[in-house]
Amino acid sequence: MSWSAQTLLQSLAATAEQLLDFAIPPYCPLCRDVLAQPAQAAVCYCLQCSRRLAEQTGDRCQRCSAAVGPWSSTQRGCVHCRGRTLRFRSAVCLGMYHDDLRRALLSAKWSFSSVQMQSLARLLAHRCAPQLHALQVDRVIPIPQHWRQRLLRHFNPAWLVAEQLAGVLNVPCDIHILRKSRRTRPQKRVSVTQRFDNQKQSYAIQDAAVIRGERILIVDDVLTTGATCSEVAGVLLKAGAAECHVAVIARVLDHSA
């Protein structure tokens, strides 16, 4: 395609988008207000909602990213994760799974479009950039879905988040090296004491040589007990990874969620 033809197509596409926005003005999926202009690059929420989603403050557990008191020592975990065998070294999240973030994440996960999930991923990457860069990871790996689950869902939220984080960190996002080898019951339908057993031997590595000696960032949409990410971290470490960390949109403290 010639440069002039490509320029014409880009111009027509931009005009069509402007006409569509005029006929059906874009709105914030959280507060439903019409967006006079984009909140920020490639984020579908209005400026106020973007700030609320990305401005959860307070101290976090270094091990599981749960909100903790200001004087808590969390090098060995906190009240939410202490005593559990977690094979990843640390976790990063956009915020706690309640209020606006809970509503935004539920809406994003069950939307036909991936735009909302991509927007949450960009907010995570922007807000947690210092922590993510400090991990110095070599590769980003999302939690995979079982093939039957992929048939029922429009997209894998973990894949979308992982792609955004890998782009910011300038490292590979590998969506093929890890697969879910057996179907498991949904974690929210399993008691807390059974969640680690539910995930045992449910993931497999395709090519262990690729990750040998690497620092891996495991990505999912939420972290609750840590059972899923811990099982994946165990598989990766056994395959030769040097260490594993976790990044999620939200940290869930209510195990019934």
Give the largest Cα separation in the chain, rounded: 64
Residue 32 lies in a domain: no
107, 113, 117, 123 alpha-carbon torsion, rounded to 10°: -110
Which residue range is the domain that position 240 belongs to?
60-251
pLDDT at 18: 46
Q: How far apart are CA 43 and CA 68, in angstroms?
A: 29
pLDDT at 39: 44
**CATH number reported for the structural domain that contains residue 186 in this entry:** 3.40.50.2020
Q: Please say if the pLDDT value at position 16 is more than 50.
A: no
Q: Please say if the pLDDT value at position 38 is more than 60.
A: no
- 74-104: per-residue pLDDT in tens? 878 899 998 888 999 999 999 999 999 999 9
- Please, where are the H alpha helices in 110-203? 115-127, 129-134, 147-152, 157-169, 195-199
**Bigger pLDDT: 148 or 244?**
244
| Confidence grade of residue 71 (pLDDT, cut at 50, 70, 90) | confident
Q: Do the beta carbons of residue 131 and residue 60 sit within 8 Å?
A: no
Into how many domains does the chain fold? 1
42 token code pair: 């490639």
Q: What are phi and psi of 131, to 5 degrees?
A: -65, -40
Residue 78 lies in a domain: yes
pLDDT at 188: 57
Residue 72 lies in a domain: yes
Residue 69 lies in a domain: yes
* Weakest-pLDDT range from 60-69, 180-189, 201-210: 180-189
If phi over 0 gives left and psi between -120 and 50 gives alpha, with beta otherwise, what is residue 77?
A: left
**Percent of the chain at pLDDT exceeding 70:** 75
Residue 147 lies in a domain: yes
Instruction: Classify strands 90-96 and 243-251 as parallel, antiparallel or unpaired.
Output: parallel
Residue 29 lies in a domain: no
Residue 141 lies in a domain: yes
Cα Rg of the chain, angstroms = 20
pTM of the model: 0.83
**Bigger pLDDT: 105 or 56?**
105
